[in-house]
Amino acid sequence: MRILLVVNNVDTEVPTAATTVIATAACRRGHDVFMAGVRELEYFEDGRVGATARAGPGAEVESQHGFLQAVQGREAPRRVISTDDLDVIWLRYNPSEEVHENAWAQHAGILFGQAALEHGVVVLNHPYSLSWAIDKMYFQQFPEDVRPRAIVTRSYDRIREFHEAHGRRIVVKPLSGYGGSDVFLVGEDASNMRQIVETVSRGGYIVAQEFLPAALEGDTRLFMVNGKALEVDGKYAAIKRLVGEGDFRSNMTAGGRPEVPDVDDQMLRLAAIVGPKLIKDGIFFAGLDIVGDKLVEINTISAGGLNSAGRLQGRDFGTPVIDAVERKVFYKRQYGEHIRNIELATLD
């Protein structure tokens, strides 16, 4: 199998990133692994899609750190590859990281992924679904039973009314954001709510969401593969994220701390409810963020934390993910265009 992992910037990847876990697992299975930044993608005159990519070290790789040593730095060998050379393109970049300084790159990977479909490669997650599933509006398409009540608006008055209607305690965050950035809890004292709304609205639309008291105890990220909770030998690929000191956010970038999770029946019920839509939309790999008995977010393109989940649970979660990708390549070789990419992306 020949696989290209598209990230924001190869040289800023870290050993503990989920992408590095996946790439290292693929190398150990003997696959040809390439990594390229979203800025290194190309569309060639004959219609092929490709990139100036870095080649992974092969099956002899000893660790995730070893994988990055092989692909990072000025001396790392570059190679121009195209869809003729590949079986799989996996979009693992975070569009939200490109919003401010490189807005042009935000959707670039998705657009190149769509073009690559014309040349017989498997593209994960399905790029036409990702074009709208990367924003939090996608979350609002799931059943009301699994998510907090929320509105999406740029109106201060609508948010003020929502605040009054929901116990004067809500969460305000950008529609397009990640890592807990610009996420605010607006409580009883809403004297600074107008300033918060003005700040968040500079980046676009705002999500105002009812506050879940259980959020003060942290959240759990549960990984989904092919629409099912990822499990290895009785352990689920999940991490409990405790809130940072003096904060209500559990994002690792906001000071959250990882802990061994207790994946209970309620969490698995939520996963079972959202799974069919993930399958329908071709979302092969996703991260569910769960607070109490509700989902608060679904991460569809660059969900992180797989390394922490493996370390805490004492399991290798990278290899079963690659197993699932291998099966897709096998099906593609057998059936060709008779199975569409959106179907193949979540075919177990």
Q: Which residues are catalytic?
A: 136, 173, 221, 241, 249, 289, 297, 299
User: Helix, strand, coil % (nearest 5) of the chain?
Assistant: 40, 25, 35
Q: Distance between CA atoms of 291 and 212, rounded to whole angstroms? A: 7
DSSP line for 31-93? -EEEEEEGGGEEE-TTS-EEEEEEE---TT--SHHHHHHHH-STTSPEEEEEGGG-SEEEE--
Q: Distance between CA atoms of 111 and 23, rounded to whole angstroms? A: 23
Q: Distance between CA atoms of 265 and 267, rounded to whole angstroms? A: 5
Q: State whether residue 173 is helix, strand or coil.
A: strand
Kindly calculate the radius of gyration of the chain based on its CA atoms and give it in whole angstroms: 20
N-terminal to C-terminal alpha carbon distance within the chain: 17
The two beta strands, 2-7 and 32-37, are parallel
**Do 33 and 55 contact (CB within 8 A), yes or no?**
yes
Single-letter residue type at 137: M
258 contacts: CB under 8 Å, gap ≥ 6: 239, 240, 241, 242, 252, 305, 308, 312
Q: State whether residue 180 is helix, strand or coil.
A: coil
